[in-house]
Each structure stands twice: as C-alpha cells, then as structure tokens.
Chains A and B, each alone.
Chain A
Amino acid sequence: MDNTLKVAGMRKSFGKSLLFTLPMFLITFMFMTGGKPNFSDPASGLAMLTAFLLVNVLYFFMHYTGKTDRYRAVLFIIFALSLSYTLIHNMLEVRKSMSFSQADILECKIPFCHLVIPMMILPAAFTKSIIFPGSIISGFANISSMVVLWLVATLVLGRGFCSWGCFYGGWDDGFSRIRKRPVIKKISELWKWMPFAVLLMVVLSAALTMMPTYCSWICPFKAVTEFERVTSVESATKAGIFLSLFGGLVVALPVMTKKRTQCSFLCPLGAINSLSNKITPFTVKIDKDACNECFKCVGVCPLYALTTDDIKAGKVSLFCSKCGKCVDACSRNAIHYGIRGIPSGTMKNFSRNLFLFVSFLFMAIFSSGSIINTFHGLLKLIF
C-alpha cells in the first residue's frame, strides 16, 4: 500500500467556492422570497434574510473547506429544533396545549409525518384507504405532500434522507455531538438490524389493528411534537413510553456513544430508506488504492454503517446515510462521495459537487419554512 499517496483535498479557492454557491444562492432566494423580498414586516424580513444567509454561508463553507458533515449538521440540527418549535408554537396558539384531543382525531386534524408511511402500505393495498387521522390534501403537513416529498427524497438520496431531510434526525445527531469522547465504546453490531424488526412489527401490527401503532405507542419524537392528551391509564402509559424512549435513545445513548442510536436501532423508516440505497444514484465509495486502513471512518460513523470488513472489502453497507462524517475524517480522501456506475477513486470532485448540490438544496428548501418561522418567533420574543 502506498502510504505516501498525495491527498487530493476537496477544498476550493474563495472565488471558486463563491461560484459554486451562486446557483444555491439564486434558487434559495427564489424559494424563500418568491422572487420579491418583502420587508414591510421587519421581523419577517429579517428572519427570512437570516435563514437565507445561514443556508448559503453553510453551503459556501462546504465548498471552501472541503468538509461536509460539520456544516450539514448545523442546518440539520437547526431544522430539527425549528420544526419542533414551529409545531409546538402552532399547537400552543391553536390548542393551548402540546397534546391533541379526541376531537382533533375525530376531525382528522393531526399533522402527518413520514414515519407513518411504512404502516400505511399494507392497509392501503388491501383496504384502499389510509389509516391516519390527517388530511389527504389540504392544510399543514397533509398526507399527499408528505408522501411526495418522502418518495422523491428517498429515490434521490436513499438513506441520505435520514441525514439530509428527516426533521427528527437532527435531535439525536445533535446530542451525539455533545461529548468529545464516547463513554460507551462498544455496542453489538447486531443491533443495527433492529429497525428491520421494528419495521416488520409495526407494519403487521398496524395492518391488524388498523392504527399507526408506531405513532400511537412508540415514536420518541412525540415528546417534542404532539401526543395524545393524558386522560386515561392507556394515554399515560403512551406518554411514559414516548418520554422514556426520547430520554434513552435520543438523548442519553447518543451522548454516551456519540452515535445516532434512535436512527440506528429503532426507526422503521430508516430500514426502508436503507433498502432504497440500492437504487439511488449517489453513494459513498472507498478508493482502495488510497486507503491505508486506519479505520478512522469506522470509528466516526454515527449509524454503525461502516465496519473494518466493509473497508477491507471496499464497500459501504446499506445503512449509510451519506452524512459525510467518514468523508471528513479521511485525511487521504480515500472514502468519498460517488455516483453509481463511476469507478471508485475517479471523478471525486464532480460526484461530491453534484451530490452536495442535490442533497443540500433539498434540505435548504425543505427546512426554510420552519427555520424562518423560528427566527421570526425569536425576533418577536427579543424585540
């Protein structure tokens, strides 16, 4: 193995980075302002401008520094926090509470989220109906638009959706970055198959009960979005499960392991997204000629997607969420973004530029509404 191989960095010059940021600048400007920035309400205008600058500065630094994950994570974590803020703020304004009532269920007013999708499939196929008390087409987070967003994102990004589009992933991603070193260093790799077991369980139980069982009983993110009003032993048990799983899998374990444990061990949608990694054009590739098998990438992977065997075999596993942590950790640029069909070790810059543009654009536009709303809320609090 050639250990003196020259590192081919992904850094760009200031001017070149600006040039690469220009398309993102123009497209996000059009989406966030509709082509006509409106400063008639200073707080709204300032919130929009801050969000716009934030996404473009982050994207610029991805090109300028050649690092991906640290800038992705900033937007990803802000997205998670701002979505929860937006949801909670709306609920407190409309319902004066984070919980929803039986009336909200009866009137099908529950916002839909992508985690319901695996449970919809069998009932939709066999009963030609959706088992969720939400709106099909109208209103906030309606079923049709969430299905379209998830379908396209999954087709394009595969499990990359979990690191570039999921508005919950930022929670455990954020907590996994709090400590410098992990307290728990070894967890059996078998656990990473757990989401497939959860997927099977929730798909079957949802079909049998005609109820989105994961949302009703398991989802840890109910703790930071909305949950059923506690009026009985059953609803109190549910609230207890939500809070325990959030505390355990989203806060405590990520802090102690520096891994995204909820995404790795529980999320049923992550299991489906892993399978979609087989069709997406963008992948993470290992350039075996450049790799000196230091296995730094294995240690930093937040989703247990890389093993020493994977590195030796020159392939990343289907669990990869394309977060870029391993790519950033590799000083030899041996692990890199790639495009299906292009041999590893070639066209690294082209593949990275294309992948970053597609994935970051999706996250920037998808997150912009809730980020602007959050900045607006914060500005109103301050002034």
Chain B
Amino acid sequence: MKKVKIIAGISWAIFCLILILILFPGLNSFSGSVSKLPFMKLNPRYTGGEIANQVIQERCTLDIRKPVFNGFLKERTSGFVQLDWHGTIPEMIKDSIDYDHDGNMDFCILVDRKNSKTVLDPISKKVKGVVISTPTSYGWAVRIGLLK
C-alpha cells in the first residue's frame, strides 16, 4: 500500500510537471476551448444587451439595445436600456425612443456632446433617469434607467 501511494504521488507530480510544461505553449488553445464553454459570455449588465433595433440616421447610426433586467435568480424590477450612437455624430443629439416597440415613444433624449450634458424627457412612467451618458471610442453611449 505504501508503495502504491508513493507511485501514485510521484505520477501525480510528474503529470503536474507536464501540465506546466504544456500550459504556456498551449495557452491560446486552452483559452479558446474555455471561451467556448456555455457560461463564458459577458452578462448583459456589462455588454449593454443585444441590439434590438438599429435606426440609420443621416450620418450616424443609433443602436437601441434590449432592455436589461438581469438578476441572479430572477429578473429585477429595475434595469436599463442602452443606446449607442456611432458614425459621424452631430454635436447635439436629439432622439425620441420607443424602446419596447409598442408603437409609442417612451422618452426623448438630448445629448449636448460639447458640454457633456444629457437631458431626458420621460414620456413613459417606466423611464426613471439617465444612468450613464459618456463618450466612447465608437461615438456616444447612454444608459437609461427603467422600471419593469
């Protein structure tokens, strides 16, 4: 039994040595495999959610993303909707948004890019306020707080 334990211990240690030897040369391949695991995708709270609607304007495009209410075990009562403008964005952005596609406008938004000022005019009672309004590498992004 003692010998078996020694052999098992040494074999485990040698296996670990091999694992370390192949870890760095195989890192890209291992990481690629791990990235394909079903849970290896970013939560919509971080990505902003999938693009639900794309509004192509004169020189820029507005992406309206799906509202995000993700919670741990169940959906939350409050969340946000993310809007992304990209392309050649005007100094003053003014848009009316129907985020839930019910045919009625839910809010109007005015972004003064020069002064970094964002004014929200809620129409729907579900619209709470501006959570984030920031310049990005692709243009401008706004997150509007929502109630479910």
Contact = CB atoms under 8 A, between A and B. Distances in A.
Interface of A: 27, 31, 101-103, 105-108, 122-134, 136-137, 142-145, 147-149, 152, 155-156, 207-208, 210-211, 280-282, 339-343, 354-355, 357-358, 361-362, 365
Given A126-B73, A340-B9, A341-B9, A133 B16 contact: no
Contacts of A125: 39
Contacts of A152: 19-20, 23
A31 B24 CA distance: 8
Interface stretch (B51-59, B101-109, B119-127, B130-138): B130-138
A125 B82 CA distance: 26
B8 A341 contact: yes
B136 A103 contact: yes
Contacts, number: 143
Contact of A358 (B6, B20, B45): B20
A342 B12 CA distance: 12
Q: Chain B: interface secondary structure? A: helix
Interface in B1-38: 2, 5-10, 12-17, 19-21, 23-24, 27-28, 30-32, 34-35, 38
A127 B73 CA distance: 7
A149 B34 CA distance: 11
Q: Chain A: interface secondary structure? A: helix
A372 to B, nearest CB: 15
Interface of B: 2, 5-10, 12-17, 19-21, 23-24, 27-28, 30-32, 34-35, 38-48, 70-73, 82, 132, 134-138, 141, 143
B19 A155 contact: yes
Given A281-B9, A354-B13, A127 B70 contact: yes
Given A122-B72, A207-B72, A339-B9, A106 B16 contact: no
A362 B10 CA distance: 19
Nearest to B132: A102
B34 A148 contact: yes
Contacts of B135: 103
Contact of B43 (A130, A144, A156): A130
Contacts of B24: 31, 365
Residue with the greatest number of chain B CB neighbours at <10 A, chosen from A211, A339, A341: A341
Nearest to A151: B34
